[in-house]
Structure 1
Amino acid sequence: MNAKTFLATVFAGLALSACSARYQTPTAMGGDDDNAVCLSRGYAAGSPEYVACRKDRDVQRSAAMSRADSRQRDLGEYMLNHPDRP
């Protein structure tokens, strides 16, 4: 493998890994498995409490993602409106 092929492979890998990292779930919830968390709280799978637990975790995750997207938009707008500041 020559140097150009190696560098092209490395740069392609970096580009692909950067794209996948953007859409990861925010870690505000600890990154735990919802099923494991709800089961560890003593809720039986399929019970109304278990369903409510899973729904609550989904709502929390959605809110965290919304906040992260909002902060990213705010940062972009700030950078557009203040090009002279780093």
Structure 2
Amino acid sequence: MMMRNKWIMMIAVAVLVMVFMPLGSVQAAPEKVIKIKMVGTLPIGHHLTTALIKYKEYVEQKSNGRVVVELYPAQQLYNDKDLVTVLP
């Protein structure tokens, strides 16, 4: 009786290992890269524009490349008046 229980237990463990083995080998889908556009209206040498550049570098570093910041300083994308109308 003890020998039979031991064999049943070994077979049950082997079946469980075979059932759950494929789950460990499934590769995770690559994470989607998030793109953020930042607009600045001040000149390149302005201290707030420098802060935007530092913020861009900080976010990209801390996110390990999952977040990409596209920076448009010095009214490259919109001027002051147009920027207010395009914001949600």
Higher helix share: 1
Higher strand share: 2
- Measured against the shorter chain, the TM-score band is 0.3 to 0.5
Q: Which has the larger radius of gyration?
A: 2
TM-score (norm 2): 0.32
TM-score (norm 1): 0.33
| Larger RCO, structure (CA 8 Å, separation 6 or more) | 2
